[in-house]
Structure 1
Amino acid sequence: MTLTPLIIRTASRLPYKVRTSFPYSRMMTTVTKTDDEWRAILSREQFRVLRQKGTERPGTGEYNHHNEEGVYGCAACGTPLYKSGTKFNSGCGWPAFYDAIPGAVTRHEDKSLGMARIEITCTACGGHLGHVFKGEGFSTPTDERHCVNSISLNFSK
């Protein structure tokens, strides 16, 4: 689970202490389905990306240049993943976010394609979202870019 530090001024010798806060925490439901059940509710392309760890072609996703205020959720199970305020234009061809809703996204080491990357999945259903990259110089608060397939997302206001 991602922890969000909250800085609180105290009267102790140290000027600050760090406390963990969970402003969006909730019980995370695990969604388990067979491949046949997923195929019945996902489009062919959604199944390929979310369940088989595929990638949509850059620049083709509906949320790449989407700028409305709201929440991006998992297209497979509906779990809220990203708030629109964390979305930014990275120019990479896929929606980019600098942080996820705490606990909604899980990171996994990915050594496929001869590269060392960090895969991100929906914590609730395990659906493949994309990859996270750090230190690319985008000057975001977390210094991260969550590169997410549009087809892995749904949007609600």
Structure 2
Amino acid sequence: MKRRSLLKAMALLPALPLLGHAPLSLAQAIANSVTPLNKPHRDWRDLLTPDAYAVLFEEDTEAPGSSALNQEKRDGTYICAACYLPLFASQDKYESGTGWPSFTQPIAGHMGQKRDFKLFFPRTEYHCARCGGHQGHVFDDGPKPRGERWCNNGVALRFIAASESLPELRS
């Protein structure tokens, strides 16, 4: 391993707990490392719908049952609506009955997390590791084996069918 790669990986070690519940190996951390964008939130306003901007960069929540992604059943990838980073694989989507698209796990290394006390009790909010856009909250009432429910705002995602090419990441 080159010295630069090793130093980059070592710099990620303090952030590993933020990347998801499952610990990553050093090799996975290097392979899945995401370079955060240094782009002010206001610059995203021109690229997004007002609803998507409100959810992604003002931590709003869309109304339950309002997303067409709730009914999406095709194979593909769910990407961040702002920067296009792949966040979820379709095989990890399931019907939670909550009214929001729900997943059993994200793509490793593509989410950051923080504690959220907006409803007077602690929750774990997660966001895109690249642009920082708010996606939703993760709960411990999901299906086995992980027991996680990654409850996502549909407006914060774009679905790309397996038959389509993923768009280039926005910068």
TM-score normalized by structure 1? 0.82
Report if the CA contact (8 A) 1:4-1:20 is conserved: no
Indicate the SS of the match to 2:70: coil
Secondary structure of the residue that 1:109 maps to in structure 2?
Answer: strand
Gaps of 5+ in 1: 7-18
1:23–1:68 CA distance, 2 compared to 1 (3 A): farther
Q: Which has the higher strand share?
A: 1
Q: Quick check: which one's helix share is greater?
A: 2
In the TM superposition, what is the alpha-carbon distance from 1:33 to its structure 2 partner?
1.9
Q: CA deviation at 1:22?
A: 3.0
- Structure 1 residues 146, 102: CA separation in 2 closer, same or farther (over 3 Å shift)? same
The equivalences for 1:1-157 within 5 A come to 1-2=19-20, 22=28, 25-134=31-140, 136=141, 138-156=142-160, 157=162
Q: Taking structure 1 as reference, are residues 114 and 27 closer, same or farther at Cα in structure 2, changes over 3 Å only?
A: closer
Could you give the per-residue CA deviations for residues 88-143 of structure 1, whole angstroms, max 9, x where no partner exists? 00010000001010100111110112121000100011100000000x2x433210
Question: In 1, Cα distance between the equivalents of 2:36 and 2:27?
Answer: 23
Report how far residue 5 of structure 1 moved.
7.2
Shift in alpha-carbon separation, 1:4–1:35, aligned structure 2, 3 A: closer
Cα offsets for 1:20-40 (capped at 9, x unmatched): 763993441322222331111
Identity %: 36
Q: Distance in 2 between matches of 1:5 and 1:77?
A: 25
Partner SS for 1:72: strand
Larger Rg: 1
Q: Which amino acid aligns with 1:99?
A: Q
RMSD: 2.2
Aligned to 2:10: none
Structure 2 alignment gaps of length 5 or more: 1-18, 163-171
TM-score by length of 2: 0.76
